[in-house]
Amino acid sequence: MIEIQGLSKSYGAIKAVKNLSFTVEKGEILGFLGPNGAGKSTTMNIITGFIPSSEGTVQVSGYDIMENPTEVKKRIGYLPEQPPLYMDMTVRDYLDFVSDLKLVDRKKKKSQMDDIMELVKITDHRNRLVKNLSKGYKQRVGLAQALIGSPDVLILDEPTVGLDPKQIIEIRKLIKALGKEHTIILSSHILPEVSAVCERVVIINKGEIAAVDTPENLSKGFSSASRLSVTVAGPKSSVMGHIQGIYGIKYVDVNVEKEKDVINYIVESDRDIDIRRPLFFAMAKAGYPIIELKSLDMTLEDIFLQLVTDEKGVEQ
């Protein structure tokens, strides 16, 4: 769906983007991550045709952004970090204006607008001035304008910035739902959000790609071992003996005793061995119930910080 090859962008002597190459498959939700100044916004502006690249190519559905900019732009809906809203228009008038800009068929315009307003849940606010809407609803209007014209691709730059926790959850659910019908590139500094929504991530730093993979594979690749936190009800010495007898276990230790004979353990195993099932069956056979079990493998946030922080602990 999207193919980026050797993409570079220079501003005089400064190279903001350096030889980026990656693809986004049809129907995929891709997380696009990097620290401030890494080149994320520059890359997204090149993909959407707002600025030209210095080198390299961007193709969307087989169309090159430099050779067929109109065809590419027809297939992209873009929500920048600051939504491009006209504050003195009503929601309906603004979406009508965007529909005309995107050359939506007049016969389909009203029904498409109604469907999109219903999808992003702004129907009840369609006659309100945009300037009178809350931050969350302005963000929804921005998302609605990106959806006008039924684009194949959505590029969302910090779509939940400034929203409260309830609004973040609602927008996150909406993005996942949109992923069923659209290819999505999502840029966000909220890394748990990226982990929850995205199937694969591209991390860039200083204009270059630092990593491309699924969050799960990145976690495995950066960890030398797999770690679990497990809470078991049973005598400490007996529980530890049974855990230590499981194939692949490298280390087990008591973390905290939550109550009498209910103890949380840290269990470390070989990276390539999933010991969750053997652990369950061993405890079940011994008659010691597992109260809680969770992974302590590296999170996307841990990986991100490791990739963009130098040895002295300073963000690059």
pLDDT in tens, 141-155: 999 999 999 999 999
Same domain for 173 and 106: yes
pLDDT of 119 higher than 50: yes
- Pick the last residue of a domain from 175, 200, 219: 219
User: In this structure, is residue 164 part of a structural domain?
Assistant: yes
Same domain for 141 and 9: yes
The total number of structural domains that make up the chain = 2
Record the tokens describing residue 163, joined without a space: 């929203």
For tokens 């995107």, the residue is 102
Same domain for 49 and 86: yes
Same domain for 190 and 231: no
Q: What is the pLDDT of residue 223?
A: 67
User: In this structure, is residue 101 part of a structural domain?
Assistant: yes
Q: What is the pLDDT of residue 169?
A: 86
Same domain for 263 and 145: no
Record the tokens describing residue 107, joined without a space: 């016969």
User: In this structure, is residue 315 part of a structural domain?
Assistant: no
Structure letter (DSSP) for residue 309: B
Q: What is the pLDDT of residue 266?
A: 94
Confidence tier at 228 by pLDDT (50, 70, 90): very high
Same domain for 107 and 53: yes
User: In this structure, is residue 312 part of a structural domain?
Assistant: no
Mean per-residue pLDDT over the chain, rounded: 90
CB 267 within 8 A of CB 279: yes
User: In this structure, is residue 236 part of a structural domain?
Assistant: yes
Q: Which residues of 14-48 are buried (b: 16+ CB within 10 A; e: fewer)?
A: ebbbbebebebeeebbbbbbbbeebbbbbbbbbbb
Same domain for 151 and 12: yes
Q: Return d(Cα 297, Cα 294) in angstroms, integer.
A: 9
Record the tokens describing residue 18, joined without a space: 């350096």
- Pick the last residue of a domain from 219, 242, 272: 219
Same domain for 191 and 263: no
Range of the structural domain that residue 17 is part of: 2-219
Strands 200-205 and 14-24, sheet pairing: unpaired
Q: What CATH number is given to the structural domain containing 271? A: 3.30.70.100
Same domain for 45 and 142: yes
Q: Write the pLDDT tens digit of every residue in 264-287.
A: 999 999 877 889 999 999 999 999
CB 179 within 8 A of CB 172: no
User: In this structure, is residue 108 part of a structural domain?
Assistant: yes
Overall pTM surpassing 0.85 (yes/no):
no
Confidence tier at 189 by pLDDT (50, 70, 90): confident
Same domain for 106 and 64: yes
Q: What CATH number is given to the structural domain containing 105? A: 3.40.50.300
Residue type present at position 180: K
CA nearest neighbour of 145 among 181, 117, 103? 117
Same domain for 168 and 266: no
Average pLDDT over residues 151-179: 87
Q: What is the pLDDT of residue 174?
A: 87
